Amino acid sequence: MTAPLYVGCAGWSLPREQWPAFAEQGTHLQRYASRFNAVEINSSFYRPHLPKTYERWRDSVPAGFRFSVKIPKLITHTRRLQQCDTALDEFLAQCLQLDEKLGCLLVQLPPSLKYEPLVAGAFFEALRQRFAGTVVLEPRHASWLAAQALLQAFEIGWVTADPAVIAPCEAWHGVRYWRLHGSPRIYHSAYGHERVQAYARLLQQSIEAGIPTWCIFDNTASGHAVADALDLLGIHPQNVQA
């Protein structure tokens, strides 16, 4: 039995040329969710959202839809995973209003943040005391390749990013998360059908292995994310149910 496959974009903005592929009525999120079954909320990285905002988003999407929410930069970049218990409490009080539609928390680290076992261990222990759901990590310093045992202990998935900043790590296998930023021009380049097909084969292997799998297109700056994600849907329609 295959595992779920979550396909979507970083944000739910829909380029005008893609509008015919989506429901005509509803909010931008409702129209987006008429085709995709997942979205990555990046705005939470920059600013907090009211709990009632998360509630509204939760109530406007189908039952099978899932949100991935990026942890605030106050935690990851400003405080660099230290002394952030209060910030974690505040963030979770907001995004946990998504209830069962909160599919994942995304922890993206700055390139300058090196792996320090005591700091990382204290942070993930604090996070796990508060949140038992899926968490994935996108580190950008090669020292984090040494964190495999810690990530397995806390059941933290590893983000496979494109373009890759560091080599992939065999971390916890309870989730796989592809984050496609666009290459060669990050955030701008389209992937095109051949590269989407190549990713589709990897995703198929993952879900056939019984691993819940995410594929988020973050090449949004020139509007290509939606087209690439729709292309992937055309390859995997039976696995993605909005």
CATH number at residue 121: 3.20.20.410
Helix (H, G, I), strand (E, B) or coil at 230: helix
Rounded CA separation 160/102 (Å):
20
Integer angstrom CA distances of residue 81 from 88, 92, 125, 127, 131: 10, 15, 11, 10, 16
**Tens-level pLDDT at each residue, the chain (242 residues):** 689 999 999 999 999 999 999 999 999 999 999 999 999 999 999 999 999 999 999 999 999 999 999 999 999 999 999 999 999 999 999 999 999 999 999 999 999 999 999 999 999 999 999 999 999 999 999 999 999 999 999 999 999 999 999 988 878 999 999 999 999 999 999 999 999 999 999 999 999 999 999 999 999 999 999 999 999 999 865 555 44
Range of the domain at 224: 5-239
Helix (H, G, I), strand (E, B) or coil at 144: helix
Rounded CA separation 218/225 (Å):
6
Burial of 226 (0-12, 13-18, 19+ CB in 10 A): buried
Please confirm whether the linkage preceding 62 is cis (ω < 30° from 0).
no
Residue 134 is predicted with a pLDDT of: 98
pTM: 0.95
Q: What sections of 138-191 are H helices per DSSP?
A: 148-153
Please enumerate in sequence order all residues whose Cβ is within 8 A of that of 47, keeping only pairs 6 or more positions apart, or say none: none
Integer angstrom CA distances of residue 147 from 125, 151, 213: 14, 6, 21
Contact 121, 146 (CB under 8 A): no
In total, how many domains does the chain have? 1
Residue 1 is predicted with a pLDDT of: 62
